[in-house]
């Protein structure tokens, strides 16, 4: 049996079936249905945030956030993230300006942001990489000083706390992904979270073609809505989040205790952060050693994955920029398998194979 880098959490089928029966009887499948409203309310309660919208995916969430904040010109961002972070900026006709990352936290290096600011800069779009908090205090101070908006790509950050509150509560807008690979998922889905009621109102219109009423339009919009079926999966999964976080922590700590004496690097978690253990990234001494290990693990039906490769500075639609730290780390990093049904014994086995291969060097 293959051990893949991730597998979706699946709630009891009986729970999902109960929601399906209600959907069938109501014949209300989409367009702001009762389950979608219930999920939004319960997510706001769970995360302790004031304003949240459930969307079709995390990429549209970023695009709507950029448009709702009226961003133009240059947006400072990270070269170490999933491609959607950069492609959304380009899609919205803005220019991504890459600022290199901290080699320890793997997040954008806040100490390098100011030197990248120009008269064309309108925002900072930073990713909480692997769910690890950015230096949100420093980024907030820079944004205040230069009158910039802040968007956080928080696709990995559900369940992470910073200074005792949800990491999703920071920034002018935080965007989240509820894709099936995430620790909390709705099969496909995403969200936007904002402390600003006016921004949320604008995003609410934008996710529904710009409708301000049935016959009036308040802005340009797209179809960013989600369905009752996806909301049902979210409602099923939300009640299991504490257990999901606990299991992932146990597995991650097992990995670390097994591997900590090897010549590899772990991601440093930002101070004052309660981490969600969304991923287990490992950085090797060289790309060659990493690739050799991946090949060895694949032979034993274990399939880690390269996150994130290549560096986003290498995208063909981004003008040439340099981010040597991100480019270097992107070549040497993988994420090891981590999911709810992965067993301690399987983690131990993976670690034995890693030790076996690295000891042959």
Q: What structural domains and CATH numbers belong to the chain?
A: 13-238 (3.40.640.10), 241-359 (3.90.1150.10)
Q: What's residue 101's pLDDT?
A: 98
Q: What's residue 361's pLDDT?
A: 58
Q: What is the 3-state secondary structure (H, E, C) of the chain?
A: CCEECCCCCCCCHHHHHHHHHHHHHHCCCCCCCHHHHHHHHHHHHHHCCCCEEEECCHHHHHHHHHHHCCCCCEEEECCCCCHHHHHHHHHCCCEEEECCECCCCCCECHHHCHHHCCCCEEEEEEECHHHCCCCHHHHHHHHHHHCCEEEEECCCCCCCEECCEEHHHCCCEEEEECCCCCCCCCCCCEEEECCCHHHHHHHHHHCECCECCCCCECCCCCECCCCHHHHHHHHHHHCCHHHHHHHHHHHHHHHHHHHCCCCCEECCCCCCEECCCCCCEEECCCHHHHHHHHHHHHHCCEECECCCCCCHHHCCCCCCCCCHHHHHHHHHEEECCCCCCCCHHHHHHHHHHHHHHHHCC
Q: What's residue 213's pLDDT?
A: 87
pLDDT in tens, the chain (361 residues): 899 999 999 999 999 999 999 999 999 999 999 999 999 999 999 999 999 999 999 999 999 999 999 999 999 999 999 999 999 999 999 999 999 999 999 999 999 999 999 999 999 999 999 999 999 999 999 999 999 999 999 999 999 999 999 999 999 999 999 999 999 999 999 999 999 999 999 999 999 999 988 888 998 999 999 999 999 999 999 999 999 999 999 999 999 999 999 999 999 999 999 999 999 999 999 999 999 999 999 999 999 999 999 999 999 999 989 999 999 999 999 999 999 999 999 999 999 999 999 987 5
Q: What's residue 241's pLDDT?
A: 98
């Amino acid at each position: 049996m293959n051990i893949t880098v991730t597998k979706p959490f699946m709630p009891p089928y009986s729970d999902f079936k109960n929601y399906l029966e209600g959907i069938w009887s109501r014949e209300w499948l989409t367009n702001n249905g009762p389950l979608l409203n219930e999920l939004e309310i319960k997510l706001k309660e769970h995360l302790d945030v004031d304003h949240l919208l459930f969307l079709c995916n995390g990429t549209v969430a970023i695009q709507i956030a950029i448009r709702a904040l009226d961003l133009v010109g240059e947006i400072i961002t990270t070269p170490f993230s999933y491609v959607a972070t950069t492609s959304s900026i380009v899609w919205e006709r803005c220019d991504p300006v890459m600022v290199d990352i901290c080699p320890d936290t793997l997040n954008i290096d806040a100490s390098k942001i100011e030197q990248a600011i120009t008269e064309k800069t309108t925002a900072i779009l930073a990713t909480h990489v692997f769910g690890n908090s950015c230096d949100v205090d420093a980024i907030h101070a820079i944004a205040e000083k230069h009158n910039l908006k802040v968007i956080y790509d928080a696709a990995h950050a559900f369940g992470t706390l910073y200074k005792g509150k949800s990491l999703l509560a920071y920034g002018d807008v935080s965007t989240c992904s509820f894709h099936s690979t995430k620790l909390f998922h709705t099969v496909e889905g995403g969200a936007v979270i904002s402390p600003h009621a006016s921004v949320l109102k604008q995003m609410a219109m934008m996710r529904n073609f710009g409708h301000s009423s049935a016959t009036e339009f308040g802005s340009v919009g797209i179809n960013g809505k989600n369905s009752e079926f996806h909301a049902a999966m979210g409602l099923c999964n939300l009640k299991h989040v504490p257990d999901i976080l606990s299991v992932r922590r146990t597995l991650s700590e097992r990995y670390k205790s097994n591997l900590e004496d090897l010549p590899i690097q772990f991601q440093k978690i930002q101070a004052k952060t309660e981490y969600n253990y969304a991923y287990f990234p490992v950085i090797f001494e060289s790309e060659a050693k990493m690739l050799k290990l991946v090949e060895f693990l694949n032979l034993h039906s274990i399939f880690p994955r390269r996150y994130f490769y290549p560096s986003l500075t290498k995208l063909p639609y981004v003008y040439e920029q340099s981010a040597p730290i991100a480019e270097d780390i992107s070549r040497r990093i993988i994420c090891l398998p981590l999911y709810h049904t992965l067993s301690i014994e399987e983690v131990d086995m993976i670690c034995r194979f890693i030790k076996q291969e690295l000891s042959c060097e």
